[in-house]
Amino acid sequence: MAVVAPETQRVLSGLSAGNIEILEEAVGLRELNRAGSGLDARTFALVKLAALIALDAPSASYGWQIANAIEEGVTAEEFLGVLKAIAPQVGGPKVIAAAPEIMLAIGLATDEAGD
């Protein structure tokens, strides 16, 4: 077993749990990244969500990005709009996989039967 420094363990544990503060710390200065993109905060949040969908990102990533997007005023309808807009490029399976992750992140219960 590898010897792991306590700080390394703290950061890895936080990342695996989707801890927002640890994610901000590990990923870097989000606001500087946004400013450098030239995009407004809402567009930046939606583009990042689209990238998560395209990458088939893990659940914790959705929770963090959706929370950031909601802070910027993004609506559930706009999240759905992202799914619709990128479906032709990323494919149905990725959109289907992302939909329940988005639902959970915005506090909706998923309905496995599709009712």
pLDDT tens digits in sequence order for the chain, 115 residues long: 788 888 888 877 877 777 767 766 655 656 667 667 888 989 999 999 999 999 999 888 898 889 889 999 999 999 999 999 999 999 999 999 999 999 999 999 887 655 5
The answer to whether residues 46 and 78 touch, using CB atoms and an 8 Å cutoff, is: yes
pLDDT for the residue 100: 94
Give which of 59, 105, 53 is closest to 83, Cα–Cα: 53
CA distance 26 to 29: 9
Domains of the chain, each with CATH number or no CATH: 6-105 (1.20.1290)
pLDDT for the residue 32: 60
CA distance 26 to 83: 27
pLDDT for the residue 48: 92
For 18: left if phi > 0, alpha if psi spans -120 to 50, otherwise beta; the answer is left
For 40: left if phi > 0, alpha if psi spans -120 to 50, otherwise beta; the answer is beta
